[in-house]
Structure 1
Amino acid sequence: MGTEAEEHPHGAAVVTDGFGLKGPRGWAFREVSFRAEPGALVAIEGPSGSGRTCLLLALTGRMKSHEGDAEVGGLALPRRMAAVRRISALGQVPGVSELDPAFTVAEHLRERALLQRRYDGSVRALLRRPAERAATSRARIEEAVAAAGLDLAALPKGERTSVRDLERLEALRLSIALALIGRPLLLGVDDTDLKLSDADRAEAWALLRSVAASGTTVLAVCSEAPADALRLTTLAGAAKPTGESARQPAAAESATRETAADPADADADAGTGTDTDADGAAEAGTAAEEPSDDAAPADAAPDTTTASTTEEGAADALAETGRA
């Protein structure tokens, strides 16, 4: 029973309080406070350049935060970034984790299964017979492909279809399947609704809901969040937000105001470098009310809005990861 529980872990809870990341020319994001229970669907909504992807990468342990507190699966950020990376996985994030257009679907799946077995497998698993290891890899691939709703037989050339020949939705499904091979507790997906028709967008969100329903916590960057997701809204200007914690009936209101940040003070590395001095600290106030019988249902549309960011700060922070 214990082995089965390890192979099918529950999702990771995500908790942040005043979370922020600063780039050389300003804040990529700041004053992010929310709570998402295991298996929640969290939509990071906002315009391009508002720090959406930086927030996604910070919460999955790929970028170092500089302000506030955050925990993912009980692991504190940024101190336990490496541990958070081990329990999380990314779908396609341009410049960070991308599909190779020259590879076929089968090549991508086999490569990811091989890397998973080589770097994340237990010593006991590595000592298994080759035939047994191959069967385990095939089972992992089939499970991930099914969970991502990727119909290999419906592709133009089946599993031999090149990534460059995939439709946008199918490429999204493939990137999620690759991430799910590692059975992560937290899945991060960037540009979820980019260049999708209304029908394809509905399918994409249905897919992410099913992944969340299976127990994996999902963080999804988008331009427009669905009504049933915990919504985090990033803004490029001053914000007076309202919101709820995921799966919590209590409503909460918060107001934040950011002091202008002097670019000369932002001398820190936003990716894996050292901590910065937050000279442009924000003044914040919060007010909360207790749950009542009239509170919104748990699956209603929670919403949390982050404080202001600068487009330059978000761009600089992303440049630290190689995504300009």
Structure 2
Amino acid sequence: MTTNPDKPDGSATVVAHGFGLKGPRGWVFRGITFEAAPGGLVAIEGPSGSGRTCLLLALSGRMKSTEGHAEVAGLRLPRKMAAVRRISALGPVPGVSDLDPALTVAEHLRERALLQRRFDGSLKTLLRSPAERRAAARARIDTALAAAGLDLDTLEKGERTSVRDLERLEALRLSVALALIGRPRLLAVDDTDLKLSDADRAEAWELLRSVAASGVTVLAVCSEAPKDALRISTTATATGTPAPAAPVSRAKHARPEPAAGPAAATSGTAKATKDIKAVPVTSVTSVTKTTKVAEGDAAAETTTTTTEKRDADALAEACRA
């Protein structure tokens, strides 16, 4: 790799070869192969439940892969996950880096600056006077806000605006600004175009393009990738064998099938006829329709639950590993 992993700033080359992750219910994603130049914009495209968030977390060192390998700034995954986490940052990722709706914008910014100084600051930085540390933190915050295109004066209550009162695009800009306070070389953003109008979606991609142009490699999950981005699709990559379907449970008092033979057939027919006579015709029709709808709903629910649980199980399995 041409980049130096020990360099404190700059962008990072991202390379993947046969990258895959398998969970208890099958492959979450598989066969991911691409190469992104430093400062590139990579769009991870696919429908919800196709493993795109897991791929984003795996490439940023937050989830352990099970097949193939990837490299970020020359750091090989999954072996160098901790090193990749030090040079990467997460934007908005539901369930991982959510904004606190009860906090204000200023509180989020101050908290991130304090954490950055406490855990990522050098010894020389810690020896500075309190006034110098505050000035340095303010400079970092202002630089990050400018890069994210978030003007605090345009908010309803300025920096005292609560996160719950932000528009979707404003919340995205704030999350990106918080990530950029750490001056990462790789930025990972989930659900880039979720709940955005066409105009706001265009602004969101323009924001990520400007971040990439500043030298930070950007990984962005989306449902539809822009034409100028490196498109990575997760729809057709999870081709592993699916987990076997659970056996259908039967009622304890289910009626047994009639035995073969004329006598048995006659007995079964007579009993069925007796049962039908005991129930009004309208009730039989209603029960039949309800059963069909219920069966269809159960099939849809099973498919959705299996798809959603696959990613959750993969995340739990990766964390235990």
Give the TM-score category using the shorter length.
0.7 to 0.9
Structure 1 vs Structure 2 CA RMSD = 2.1
Alignment match of 2:310 (pick from 301, 308, 313): 313
Q: Which residue pairs with 1:154 in the alignment?
A: 154
Deviations 1:87-111 (A, max 9, x none): 0000111110110000000000000
Is the 8 Å Cα contact of residues 89 and 184 (structure 1) preserved in structure 2? Answer: yes
Q: Which residue pairs with 1:216 in the alignment?
A: 216
- For 2:313 and 2:49, how far apart are their aligned partners in 1? 10
- Unmatched segments (≥5 aa) in structure 1: 240-255, 265-308
Which structure shows the bigger proportion of residues in helix conformation? 2
- For 2:238 and 2:165, how far apart are their aligned partners in 1? 47
Q: Which residue pairs with 2:241 in the alignment?
A: 260
- For 1:88 and 1:23, how far apart are their aligned partners in 2? 24
Q: Which residue pairs with 2:54 in the alignment?
A: 54
Task: Mark the structure with the bigger radius of gyration.
Answer: 2
- For 1:263 and 1:208, how far apart are their aligned partners in 2? 41
- For 2:172 and 2:318, how far apart are their aligned partners in 1? 21
What TM-score results when the alignment is normalised by the length of structure 2? 0.76
Deviations 1:269-311 (A, max 9, x none): xxxxxxxxxxxxxxxxxxxxxxxxxxxxxxxxxxxxxxxx965
- Unmatched segments (≥5 aa) in structure 2: 1-5, 246-305
Q: Which residue pairs with 1:75 in the alignment?
A: 75
Is the 8 Å Cα contact of residues 27 and 240 (structure 2) preserved in structure 1? Answer: no
Is the 8 Å Cα contact of residues 99 and 163 (structure 1) preserved in structure 2? Answer: yes
- The amino acid across from 2:312 in the alignment is A
- For 1:14 and 1:142, how far apart are their aligned partners in 2? 28
Q: Which residue pairs with 1:99 in the alignment?
A: 99
- Counterpart of 1:28 in 2: which secondary structure? strand
Q: Which residue pairs with 1:250 in the alignment?
A: none
- Counterpart of 2:178 in 1: which secondary structure? helix
- For 1:10 and 1:216, how far apart are their aligned partners in 2? 7
- Counterpart of 1:210 in 2: which secondary structure? helix
1:18-57 to structure 2, matched below 5 A, reads 18-57=18-57
Give the C-alpha shift of residue 315 in structure 1: 3.4
In structure 2, relative to structure 1, the CA distance for the partners of 1:160 and 1:226 (3 Å cut) is: same
- For 1:87 and 1:194, how far apart are their aligned partners in 2? 26
- Whether 1:145 and 2:159 are equivalent positions in the alignment is no
Q: Which residue pairs with 2:134 in the alignment?
A: 134
- For 2:129 and 2:206, how far apart are their aligned partners in 1? 39
Is the 8 Å Cα contact of residues 13 and 36 (structure 1) preserved in structure 2? Answer: yes
- For 2:84 and 2:76, how far apart are their aligned partners in 1? 8
In structure 2, relative to structure 1, the CA distance for the partners of 1:234 and 1:258 (3 Å cut) is: closer
- The amino acid across from 1:315 in the alignment is A
- Counterpart of 1:103 in 2: which secondary structure? coil
Stretches of 4+ aligned residues off by more than 6 angstroms: none
